[in-house]
Structure 1
Amino acid sequence: MKRTQSGITLIGFLVVLAVAGFFAYVGMKLFPMYQEFYSVKTALKGLSNEPGIAMQDPAKIQDLFFRRLYINYSDNVKPENVKLSRGDRGWKMEVDYEVRKPMIYNIDVVGKFNAVQELTRTGDIDG
Structure 2
Amino acid sequence: MKTMNTQRGMTLTSFLVVLIVVAFGLYIGMKLFPMYSEYYSVRSALKGLAKEPGVGNMEPARVQEMFFKRLDISFSENVKPSNVKFERVGGGWNMKVNYEVRRQLIGNLDVVGKFDTHQELTLNGVD
TM-score by length of 2: 0.95
Identity of paired residues, percent?
57
Aligned length: 124
What is aligned with 1:43?
45
Alignment of 1:14-93 (within 5 A): 14-93=16-95
Measure how far apart 1:122 and its partner are. 2.5
Does 1:6 find its partner at 2:8?
yes
Q: Report the residue type matching 2:29 in the other structure.
A: G
Measure how far apart 1:123 and its partner are. 3.3
Instruction: Report SS of the residue matched to 2:64.
Output: helix
Partners in 2 of 1:41 and 1:57 — Cα distance? 20
Q: Report the residue type matching 1:101 in the other structure.
A: R
Give unmatched runs, 5+ long, in structure 2.
none
Alpha-carbon RMSD: 0.9
Give unmatched runs, 5+ long, in structure 1.
none
Partners in 1 of 2:16 and 2:111 — Cα distance? 26
Q: Report the residue type matching 2:27 in the other structure.
A: Y
TM-score by length of 1: 0.95
Instruction: Report SS of the residue matched to 2:124.
Output: helix
Poorly superposed stretches of 4+, deviation over 4 Å:
none
